[in-house]
Structure 1
Amino acid sequence: MKLTKTLMASTAITVAAGMSFADGHMADEMTIVSWGGAYSSSQQNAYHNPYAEQTGVKIINDESSAEAVSKLRAMSEAGNVTWDVVDVVASDALRLCDEGLAMEIDADEMLADGDDGSKASDDFGDLLVGDCFIPQIVYSTTVGYRTDLVGDTPPTEICALFDTDTYPGKRALEKRPIGNMEWALLCDGVAKDEIYDVLETEDGQQKALDKLATIKDDVIWWSAGADTPQLLADGEVVMGSTYNGRLFSLIVEQNQPVGMLWDAQVFDLDGWIIPTGLSDERQARALDYVKFATDTQRLADQAKYISYGPARKSSAPLVGKHAELGIEMAPHMPTDPENAKNTFLYNYEFWADYRDDIDAKFQAWLVK
């Protein structure tokens, strides 16, 4: 995919190892957009608080990442971009970059070197999937279930989602096609390595929707990352999809009667983009923040609060114990060998290309 070049030559910014700027001024307030819940809390502890203490900048939190693409499109069209740094999944970063709505990033010039002396491009490696994307974490979307509502045979496979005879009750699924379509095809007999070839066709898309239709009446559709954990905690669903870090918080920190299903967990990347259309001062502040927030130590620090793997290689050896519980965090990561025996590798390039069309079809199916 050829991504649109969006770093304008007129921007008066020179970024070196010490992050210096031509006019010497940076905004003293910034709005950072993320997903809320336990995830935003981990960012607050690992990134926002230390950065605010170091710089005195006021950070305003917004929890609109689920709507980042549509809202940034609207802001750009109106000529009024009010966000400074936005947390998005990799496929959304690719779309925003392709549309000229996210700033192009030169990792080695704009981001910190690794603590081991590696350049940022080597430290992040293959996770630098787009010209505008600044990787932060590896996470997975997986399924949590109420241990007290599944009888004597708790689920071990993802297709338990579609087995309402063995596991009657409501399910919670995200109100978007990503993940749901892959699981539906997988549980309809499509081989894992053929999922995206099938999903590329109209017949394949309909096949996935038909499989989802078998449980449609039993589904509560969610749009915020905190929804499924709350539904599970309240006993309103027997199982539901959400991010592995949210389930970690629910199970380990809150001690809820919930288990985690690692089978066919969907690996994905999450990170930052900086919107285009910012003033020089706001752009300078945003760049300063992301350089700080994605250095080796800060990415390792986030893993003290939530079970997401840091995107830098140099951060991995620094992942230690939970900041409050004192437990080792490595076994709770989606990348742990025991948890990653049967993973599903999310194809962010496919969804960057097909998301709008398939999403329109999915949303139309939802209201039928």
Structure 2
Amino acid sequence: MKRLLILTGTAATLALGAAYAQDKELTIVSWGGAYSNSQDKAYHEPYEEKTGVNILTEDKSANALAGIRAQVEAGNVTWDVVDMLQADAQRACDEGLVLQIDPDEWLAPAPDGTPASEDFVEGTMGECFIPQILYSTMFAYNTEAFPDGGPSTVEDIWDTEKFPGTRALQQIPQKNLEWALLADGVPADEVYDVLATKEGQDRAFAKLDEIKDNVIWWSEGAQPPQMLADKEAVIATAYNGRIFNAQVNEDQPFEIMWDHQMFETDGWVVPVDTGEEELIKDYIKFATDTQRLADQAKYISYGPARKSSAPLVGKFEGTDIEMKPHMPTNPKNLETAIPFNVQFWADYGDSLEERFNAWVAG
């Protein structure tokens, strides 16, 4: 059984409490790979050292919404904290699967005393969602496949004559439908209005039809860098931090194409009925404070969700590489960025996922 014990008193009692802490556990669900490693270094290991709590990790965030649904419906919730995309978190919140969060109760203030509700980047905090990082999904390519220069625009991804080869796309409708409309000439500021219509959805799927024969699909964040390295694909959508990791740690000849990156927030939710709310609150307050979010940027090129963390971002751990230019929040990288519309996908996700999955299988 997982338990939380707070003891005060003599040194002997404190020593007993420290030993007792070894029996406490939290099960935290995340994405695996370089991202989970960044969490281990910035959050989990320091928290374990500070408290003696044992952190168990499961790399199941790719199916987090379905997993929480199944556990709650079965009355057997085994996940304590779940790393989740903001759109899926909103759907889980709407369905009553995760706890509502009061940021100023749950989270630490900024070092200057600014309440947490005012210190996180505007629009990132959700009713049941605690933001950690700002990241992007964008296109990347293997430069060895394009000695004369690779694609530079979303339209180029659809140009299979000028840029031949297999594209690896994530097997979800999110972002693929938006990019399809952009490639078909829809202005960036009209994409979601168009995609909200039956005609716009038909248009997006028709555009995807044009490259379907050149596409392989991925579902886990570690797959696109591997597909590019193996030349199973020459162009891939990917999380920017995964490509940065492959460039820096594995010396892969990859290039990021920042054109119309899809800018998004990732963070924590807490399933209902975990039975460990106080311990979870203690962990989350620690893991989302200003220093911890800045520390994560030492290990992966995702921007911290706290405003007070941004000035503390420095170099990639063990190198002289400045991290700020590699962040999706870098002004140059943001020039054509599209904010991912969380509310749109909370409203349309189920129907478009059903249609997309049928289209992939067809």
Question: What TM-score comes out, normalization by structure 2 length?
Answer: 0.92
Q: Which of 324, 343, 352 is the equivalent residue of 1:349?
A: 343
More deviation in 252-261 or 25-34? 25-34
Q: 1:21: which partner in 2?
A: none
Aligned partners of 1:162 and 1:214 also within 8 Å: yes
Q: Do the aligned residues in 1 keep the contact of 2:137 with 2:263 (CA within 8 Å)?
A: yes
User: Could you tell me whether the CA contact under 8 Å between 1:29 and 1:60 is conserved in 2?
Assistant: yes
Match of 1:232 among 212, 228, 234: 228
Q: Indicate yes or no: 2:266 matched with 1:270.
A: yes
Cross-structure match for 2:12: none
- Whole-angstrom CA distance in 2 between matches of 1:129 and 1:333: 20
Q: Which digits, 9 at most, give the CA deviation of each residue in 1:325-365, with x for residues without a partner?
A: 23111111011112111111110110011111110010011
AA matched with 1:151: P
Task: Using the TM superposition, give the Cα deviation of residue 206 of structure 1 relative to its aligned residue in structure 2, in angstroms.
Answer: 1.4
**What is the distance in 1 between the residues matched to 2:156 and 2:125?**
33
Matched with 1:303 is 297
For the 8 Å contact 1:293–1:299, the answer to whether it is kept is: yes
- Matched residue type, 1:358: L
Contact in 2 for aligned 1:121/1:128 (Cα 8 Å): no
Given that 1:167 and 1:238 are in contact with CA atoms closer than 8 Å, whether structure 2 keeps it comes out as no
2:252 is aligned to 256
Contact 1:321–1:328 (CA under 8 A) maintained in structure 2: yes
Post-superposition shift, 1:125? 4.6
Matches within 5 A, 1:209-224: 209-224=205-220
Q: Secondary structure at the match of 1:365?
A: helix
Is the counterpart of residue 94 in structure 1 residue 94 in structure 2? no
> The residue matched to 2:261 in structure 1 has which SS?
strand
In the TM superposition, what is the alpha-carbon distance from 1:116 to its structure 2 partner? 2.1
> What TM-score does the superposition give when structure 1 sets the normalisation length?
0.91
User: Residues 176-200 of structure 1, C-alpha deviation per residue, up to 9 Å, x if partnerless?
Assistant: 0001000000000111111111111
Partner SS for 2:43:
helix
Letter in 2 for 1:321: K
Structure 2 distance, partners of 1:159, 1:243, is: 20
Q: Which amino acid aligns with 1:221?
A: W
**Structure 1, residues 268-320: CA drift from partner, whole Å, max 9, x if none?**
000000110111xx222211111100000000000000010000011011001
**What is the aligned partner in structure 1 of residue 360 from structure 2?**
366
Asked if the contact 1:140/1:244 (under 8 Å) is kept, the reply is: yes
Distance, in Å, in 2 between the alignment partners of 1:172 and 1:287 is: 39
Give CA deviations for 1:64-93 in whole Å, capped at 9, x if unaligned. 111111111111110011100000111111
Secondary structure of the 2:244 match is: helix
What residue number does 2:322 align with? 328
Alpha-carbon distance in structure 1 between the residues aligned to 2:228 and 2:52: 39
SS in 1 for 2:331: coil
Partner of 1:68: 64
Contact 2:124–2:265 under 8 Å retained in 1? no
Looking at structure 1, the residues matched to 263 and 49 of structure 2 have their Cα atoms a distance apart, in angstroms, of: 33
1:51 equivalent among 43, 47, 50: 47
Which residue identity does 1:168 align to in structure 2?
A: P
Query: Once the 2 structures are TM-superposed, how far is the Cα of residue 128 of structure 1 from its aligned partner?
Result: 4.1
| Residue type of the alignment partner of 1:345 | P
Runs of 4+ in 1 over 6 A off after TM superposition: none
Is the 1:104–1:131 contact (alpha carbons within 8 Å) kept by the matching residues of 2? yes
- State the partner residue of 1:22: none
Which 5+ residue runs of structure 1 have no aligned equivalent? 1-24
Secondary structure, counterpart of 1:342 in structure 2: coil
1:144 partner amino acid:
A
Question: Contact 2:124/2:305 (CA < 8 Å) preserved in 1?
Answer: no
Do the aligned residues in 2 keep the contact of 1:127 with 1:135 (CA within 8 Å)? no
In the alignment, the residues of structure 1 paired with residue 194 and residue 161 of structure 2 have an alpha-carbon distance, to the nearest angstrom, of: 28
Q: Separation in 2 of the partners of 1:116 and 1:240?
A: 42
Query: Where does residue 145 of structure 1 map in the other structure?
Result: 141
C-alpha separation in 2, matches of 1:301 and 1:45: 8
Q: Distance in 2 between matches of 1:94 and 1:314?
A: 25
After superposition, the C-alpha distances for 1:76-123 in whole angstroms (9 at most, x for unaligned) are 110011100000111111111111111111111111011121110010
Map of 1:6 onto structure 2:
none
